[in-house]
């Protein structure tokens, strides 16, 4: 079993999460859960990433980069994703049916991102965690409890628009 | 006063019906970046591009290369036609870059308004504008009101608040709330606070719970 975990912070940086996922206790937990590869999109948090000391070079491969035009390929190969709370990332990951832990950056001024993560957690599509709880969340993470995200309804918006424009279909 | 008459909440059906065009409609789609662009292309997915909504003009910020790529990808896939001539991209400078000094902001707003004038007062102005919250849609919407006030053309404005806004509107949403013809939100909490808002459950989050979702409109 060689599983892959992908961590993404989006267009800004998120030092705390990068420091945490590259810390020794976190890497140990990943190895014990059968992860053989950690891919990190660290955005502006490069400094937090390169501080890492990987004492487990033979046990877990760690790859990091700042940005890519599309994260889709890294999302697709992952068995578990830890993401910031941006709605674009959340939607993209859920639509690939990937198990997802969302960690909100509580330092951001506006907390509407947390509201979104909590709502989607209450519906069972993802798990929300604070930074301080992330290790515990991962320990008790139950993949089987997650509910697949529904396919979007393509006709709703078209119907409203057709009605507004007086189109008879 | 004319401005009052052309506000959508003033339900003067006569004023509106005079300006009612027939399809196909020249459709202006305002893209933000990242999440905004993704959500907007999802909205456009169900539209009839062949008969009704053409040509399409995608408005993007002039440094947003990613959205530009996404538009081409989306159009090629949806129409199945790589030489598709029914869409184009119109670039608009950002009104304010993150971290830009407030001193130079009036100049960039002016540039954004100019670019919007070019868009709205083209030989054929758009029939409708769809936007979902990036700041760049504000200059476009403001300028689109000029033909309406002058009695030349009623360009329909459709606003869809981002899926990211659960309990509060975005600043763009608050600014445009009273001025757009349809104001759609994706979380039910928002229609309690904003009576003009309509709920649209694109991601079927309430399909399994009766009484909340509009079952007549969902196609299962």
Instruction: Work out the percent of chain A whose per-residue pLDDT is above 70.
Output: 97
Burial of B167 (0-12, 13-18, 19+ CB in 10 A): middle
Of A69, A152, A159, Cβ closest to residue B203:
A152
Q: Where do runs of H (alpha helix) occur along A1-143?
A: 15-21, 24-32, 46-50, 72-77, 87-95, 112-122, 134-139
Distance from CA of A167 to the nearest CA of B (A): 8
CB contact under 8 A, B166 and A115: yes
Of A112, A123, A157, Cβ closest to residue B46:
A157
**Nearest-CA residue of chain A relative to B180?**
A164
Distance from CA of A86 to the nearest CA of B (A): 8
- Taken in order of first residue, the domains within chain B and their CATH numbers are 2-9+23-94+103-199 (3.40.50.2000)
Instruction: Give CA separation, B166 vs A38, A115, B155, B204, in Å.
Output: 32, 6, 28, 15
Query: How far is CA B148 from its chain centroid?
Result: 16
Residue B7: pLDDT band (50, 70, 90) is confident
The ipTM, to two decimals, is: 0.89
Instruction: Give the pLDDT mean for A114-130.
Output: 95
Of A161, B207, B184, which Cα lies nearest the Cα of B218? B207
Q: Which residues of A74-84 are buried (b: 16+ CB within 10 A; e: fewer)?
A: bbeebbbbbbb
Q: Going along chain B, which residue ranges are E strands? A: 25-30, 53-61, 87-92, 128-131, 156-160, 182-185, 197-199
A168/B contact by beta carbon, under 8 A: no
Predicted pLDDT at A1: 65
B156: left (phi over 0), alpha (psi -120 to 50) or beta: beta
Predicted pLDDT at A49: 93
Distance from CA of B38 to the nearest CA of A (A): 7
**Nearest-CA residue of chain A relative to B41?**
A154
Instruction: Say if residues A95 and A71 touch (Cβ distance below 8 Å).
Output: no
Distance from CA of A75 to the nearest CA of B (A): 16
Instruction: Give CA separation, B29 vs A149, A150, A157, B21, B156, in Å.
Output: 26, 25, 14, 18, 12
Residue B212: pLDDT band (50, 70, 90) is very low
Instruction: Say if residues B56 and B29 touch (Cβ distance below 8 Å).
Output: yes
B98/A contact by beta carbon, under 8 A: no
- Taken in order of first residue, the domains within chain A and their CATH numbers are 3-164 (3.40.50.2000)
Distance from CA of A57 to the nearest CA of B (A): 34
Instruction: Give the pLDDT mean for B123-132.
Output: 94
Of A69, A87, A154, Cβ closest to residue B162:
A87
Instruction: Say if residues B157 and B144 touch (Cβ distance below 8 Å).
Output: yes
Supply the DSSP symbol for B102.
T
Peptide bond into A151 cis (omega under 30): no
Tokens of B86: 């029914």
Condensed to tens digits (0 to 9), the pLDDT of residues B103-123 reads 777 888 889 999 999 999 988
Tokens of B106: 């009036």
- Residue A97 DSSP SS3: coil
At A37, which helix (H) or strand (E)? strand A35-41
Instruction: Give the pLDDT mean for B174-186.
Output: 96
Residue to substitute from A11, A88, A125, A155, interface B, most B β-carbons within 10 A: A88
**Nearest-CA residue of chain A relative to B183?**
A160
Window B:136-175, CB contacts with A under 8 Å: 156, 158, 160, 162-168
Distance from CA of B165 to the nearest CA of A (A): 6
Strand order in the sheet with A100-103: A61-65, A35-41, A3-8, A80-83, A100-103, A127-129
**Nearest-CA residue of chain B relative to A70?**
B66
Of B69, B182, B204, Cβ closest to residue A150:
B204
Please work out, in degrees rounded to the nearest 5, the angle formed at the alpha carbon of residue B76 by the alpha carbons of B71 and B79: 115
What end-to-end distance do the CA atoms of chain B give, in Å?
Answer: 47
Condensed to tens digits (0 to 9), the pLDDT of residues A75-118 reads 999 999 999 999 999 999 999 999 999 998 777 656 788 999 99
Longest distance between any two alpha carbons in chain B, whole Å = 53
Instruction: Give the pLDDT mean for B134-145.
Output: 92
**Nearest-CA residue of chain B relative to A158?**
B47
Mean pLDDT computed over every residue of chain A: 92
B48/A contact by beta carbon, under 8 A: yes
């Amino acid at each position: 079993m060689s599983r892959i975990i992908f961590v993404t912070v989006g267009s800004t940086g998120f030092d705390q999460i990068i420091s945490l996922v590259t810390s020794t206790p976190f890497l140990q937990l990943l190895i014990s859960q059968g992860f053989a590869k950690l891919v990190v999109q660290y955005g502006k948090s490069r400094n937090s990433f390169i501080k890492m000391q990987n004492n487990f070079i033979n046990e877990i491969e760690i790859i990091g980069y700042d940005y890519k035009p599309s994260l889709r390929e890294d999302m697709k190969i992952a068995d578990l994703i830890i993401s910031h709370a941006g709605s674009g990332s959340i939607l993209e990951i859920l639509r690939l049916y990937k198990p997802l832990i969302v960690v909100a950056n509580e330092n951001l001024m506006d907390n509407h991102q947390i509201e979104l993560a909590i709502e989607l957690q209450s519906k069972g599509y993802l798990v929300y965690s604070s930074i301080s709880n992330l290790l515990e969340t991962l320990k008790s993470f139950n993949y089987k409890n997650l509910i697949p995200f529904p396919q979007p309804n393509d006709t709703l918006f078209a119907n409203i628009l057709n009605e507004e424009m007086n189109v008879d279909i | 006063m004319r401005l009052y008459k052309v506000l959508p909440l003033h339900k003067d059906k006569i004023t509106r019906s005079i300006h009612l065009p027939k399809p196909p409609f020249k459709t202006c789609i305002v893209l933000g970046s990242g999440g905004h662009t993704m959500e907007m292309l999802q909205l456009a997915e169900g539209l009839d591009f062949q008969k009704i909504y053409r040509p399409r003009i995608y408005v993007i910020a002039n440094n947003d290369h990613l959205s530009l790529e996404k538009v081409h990808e989306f159009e090629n896939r949806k129409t199945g036609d790589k030489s598709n001539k029914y869409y184009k991209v119109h670039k608009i400078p950002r009104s304010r870059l993150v971290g830009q000094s407030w001193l130079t902001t009036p100049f960039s707003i002016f540039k954004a308004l100019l670019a919007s004038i070019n868009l709205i007062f083209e030989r054929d102005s758009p029939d409708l504008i769809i936007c979902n919250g990036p700041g760049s849609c504000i200059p476009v919407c403001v300028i689109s009101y000029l033909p309406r006030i002058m009695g030349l053309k009623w360009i329909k404005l459709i606003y869809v608040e981002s899926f990211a806004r659960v309990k509060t509107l975005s600043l763009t949403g608050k600014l445009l709330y009273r001025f757009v013809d349809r104001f759609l939100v994706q979380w039910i909490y928002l229609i309690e606070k904003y009576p003009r808002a309509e709920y649209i459950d694109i991601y079927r989050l309430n399909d399994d719970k009766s009484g909340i979702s509009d079952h007549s409109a969902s196609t299962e």
